[in-house]
Amino acid sequence: MYDHNAIEQKILSFWEKEEIYQKVKDNNRKNEIFYFCDGPPYATGQIHPGTGWNKTIKDSVCRYQRGIGKNVRAQIGYDTHGLPIEVKVEKELGIKNKNEIEKLGIEKFIKECKKFATKYIGIMNGQFKSLGVWMDYDNPYITYNDDFINASWHTLKMAWEKKLMHEGEYVLPYCYRCETTMANYELEYGEESDPSIFIKFKVKERENEYLIVWTTTPWTLIANMGVMVHPIFSYVKVKVGEEIWVLAKERMEYMLNILGESGVVVEEVSGKKLEGTAYEHPFQDKIKKEFNRKVVLSDEYVTLEEGTGLVHTAPGHGPEDFIIGKRFGIEPFSPVDERGNFTEEAGIFKGKNVRESSKDVINVLKEKKVLIYQDRIKHRYPHCWRCKTPLIFLATKQWFINISNIKSKMMDEIEKIDWHPSFIKNRFADFVSGAPDWCISRQRYWGIPLPIWKCKECESITVIGDRNEIGKVKELHRPYVDEIKIDCSCGKKMERIPDVLDVWFDSGNAVWASLDEKESKMKELEQTHVIIEGQDQIRGWFYSLLGSGIIRYDKSPYKKLLMHGFFVDEKGEKMSKSLGNFVPLEEILTKYGADGFRLWGLSSTVWE
């Protein structure tokens, strides 16, 4: 009887003892190079079947290229920085927030993160070997290695010199549990139930006249700085009881119906006529921020699909609000600290968590008799991709790659790439065409330190592109690089800004940061011949690689792309380590064997 376990172990032992993989490589060493770059999985735990399927697809492509005589460079890689590892280590150490990391000590936390990643690199290597995958296990590229970090620093230096990197204030998604910003492509959407309220803003110097505004984020009313209307929409002033309500003409019937009220239109005006209308904050006596709040115009962010046609605006808590605020000189007021709690400027709400404060805000609105309707709404809402906390939007100072400056080049390069399946090209192009500037800074610990030194005295900036520029340092991680000071031309010392890089920037440098010194000078290794990853990487690795490649070589770092589908559970949901909805790979291999698993996976259409 065929015993797959015994036979597969015998073959694996034979390969290892006789160094078969090395002999195949040696046989092709003088032939044409085929450069395969392995998209690095996170070293956060044992692999699940989807990761195994991914590697067997890659292995099949590389085996074919070896079979036709190519000198295949197939170095296995591991992603080891960022929140995926930090969150796991925090759980192991019983840590709940950043303060506790500081108390433990950054150095100790970094060591624990490195130890955790190293442990799982060893485990995952063994699992990939058991699948019969032939890659360079003795020489993996690991994103926490100094050589990899140094190569990534060089990319950033090039971005700085090409004026493709800047510091700026923007409203960004923010996780108050992890206490850091997120990039737009990191957002994980899930359903949330939030309040849906209609409220009255009293028009200044008008008897009983009110702007009728709708919002699903009552807590942001604390930071209200304006109301947006559409310049060419028709607005009506409706007499409801003893009051005059201002709202869009097309939303009047809806509003009166849900309230069971009747009204008489006393005037009709264009949105442009409402510009500059001053109003009172509904609970100014409860907060400390005083401001001359007015109606402003926006033809891009005011719609008639829902609400009242008047949009509450908090430039410190909404990307669209921020843009309008800039346009009309309204400051992005954001009275929220790094833990998602209101600050002193929020008055009676000081110290309260922002999302939990919505109910308190609603109570104040009731007390002020300005809440005219209350309901709840279920909608798609962004969550932290690692800890699943609902995100908020905050105005913060961050560092960005200027995607807007290289977007046309990215779109040109998309046309040159060989896409499999072909339909993925348009999906990716659509994503890139709408992508904002790339926020690369994170307020965390375990990651590539941003190589930016700044003088507090004269605010001069130096971006380091090579470790030799800062002298001897234990390793290129926090807290060691934080201790390095650089002489400033003003006579003072420059200090490194404390942020680390977005972990997607790490893998975005994999094509060149994985090369050794000799290989990095080889023109044929500036581009990988093919990359192979799942469809979730449209917003991830495919994007970060392309953006980084344009900075580095002014071209796409990959010539061909093969996208595969998802390995799903019995409900059709993507199997995921973070969700825990996967069958352990060992279970499958024990029952069916690696050959059975490989054959079954490779019998499907790859992108389904």
Domain ranges of the chain: 4-162+501-602, 189-383, 451-498
Q: Which of 157, 451, 537, 557 is catalytic?
A: 537
User: In this structure, what token pair is assigned to residue 331?
Assistant: 């400051």
pLDDT of residue 578: 66
Crossing angle of helices 4-18 and 594-602, rounded to 10°: 90
Extract the tokens encoding 484. Answer: 């390095």
Contacts of 85 (CB under 8 A, 6+ apart): 42, 43, 44, 113, 116, 117, 446
Which pLDDT score is estimated for 142? 97
pLDDT of residue 40: 94
162 catalytic? Reply is no
Q: What is the pTM of this model?
A: 0.85
Domain 189-383 CATH assignment equals 3.90.740.10: yes
Give the chain's residues under pLDDT 50. Answer: none
512 tagged catalytic: no
Secondary structure of 362-377 in HEC code, one letter for each residue: HHHHHHCCCEEEEEEE
**CATH 3.90.550.10 is held by the domain 4-162+501-602:** no
Task: State the catalytic residue, choosing from 41, 53, 65, 79.
Answer: 79
Q: Catalytic residue among 134, 160, 214, 504, which?
A: 504
Q: For position 564, what pLDDT does the model report?
A: 94
* From 129, 498, 574, 607, active-site residue: 574
Question: Hunting for tokens 């109570």 — which residue is that?
Answer: 363
Is 537 known to be catalytic? yes
Q: Which of 160, 438, 446, 541 is catalytic?
A: 541
pLDDT at 385: 73
Would residue 493 show up in a list of annotated catalytic residues for this protein?
no
Q: Is 504 a catalytic residue?
A: yes
* Element containing residue 504 per DSSP (H, E): helix 503-507
